[in-house]
Each structure stands twice: as structure tokens, then as C-alpha cells.
Structure 1
């Protein structure tokens, strides 16, 4: 892929990607979960299940374990990493 082919594709309404990779749903869900846990908004079970059509219960059990180690917090609705959990997630 080069910039000239990309620009030509955009101008001509043609292809702009030389390759495309399909990411499996569980991998996308895992990436989404880790990204959202690292934000101030965190993640809500309903939002995750609606987005990926996957159960949240196995993740909630894991998050409960992280909570007991002060790595995650739960406000009754949303899960987030604690500052300590954020540092651990970086390593």
C-alpha cells in the first residue's frame, strides 16, 4: 500500500485498502473491555452484552476478583480500573 494508490482510490471512488483483516468477535470484545476499563466512563454489563451479544457474567466474576485486590471498582452500574489496576494493566 502506498499513499498514491490511496489518494487515487479516494478520488476515483475505488478501493483504498490493499488488505483487510477480520477480527474475531471475542478478540474485539476483549479489546473493547480493556479499553473501556481504562477510561473514566468504565464499562457497563448491559452495554457490553448489547454490543457483542456475549454474556458478561464470566467477566463480572473476574472483575469481582480484581475488585477484592483493589484493581477494579464498581459503582453499582459501571466497572473501572482503580489507579492501581491501571498501573498493573500497563505492565
Structure 2
């Protein structure tokens, strides 16, 4: 029983320490947000969206170039005898 009580006390202390660290981290995040900094998660998300938009633009340009080199209707005539 004494061993179990010591384990429980140690676990409680660890939980309290983790909660204090989490609270400090949240305070830092809130402080950075109030100073105009973005959270890293939203910055990464915005960067990913921008990369996807850039890829779509490049794909559209490639499609335009490929289509301009394509065969247009009426370019060739087929003679059937």
C-alpha cells in the first residue's frame, strides 16, 4: 500500500508539472498572437495552400501550351476513294 501511495503521489506531481508547462505554452502562444504572429500551424496551412495554387497555375499554363500545339479540327483532309 505504501508503494502504491508513493506511485500515486509521483503521478500526481507529474500531472501537475505537465499542466503547468501546458499553461505556460498557452500563455506564450496567446502572447505571440496578440503581437501579430501567426501560429505555426496556420502558417504551414497557408504555405501549403499557396503551393497548391502555384501548382494549379503551372498546370493551366502547361495545358494551354499543349492545347495550342494540338491538332485542330479540319487541319487534315481524308480522301476516300
Q: Which has the higher contact order (CA 8 A, sep 6+)?
A: 1
Structure number with bigger Rg: 2
The structure where helix makes up a greater share of residues is 2
The structure where strand makes up a greater share of residues is 1
Q: TM-score, normalised by structure 1?
A: 0.22
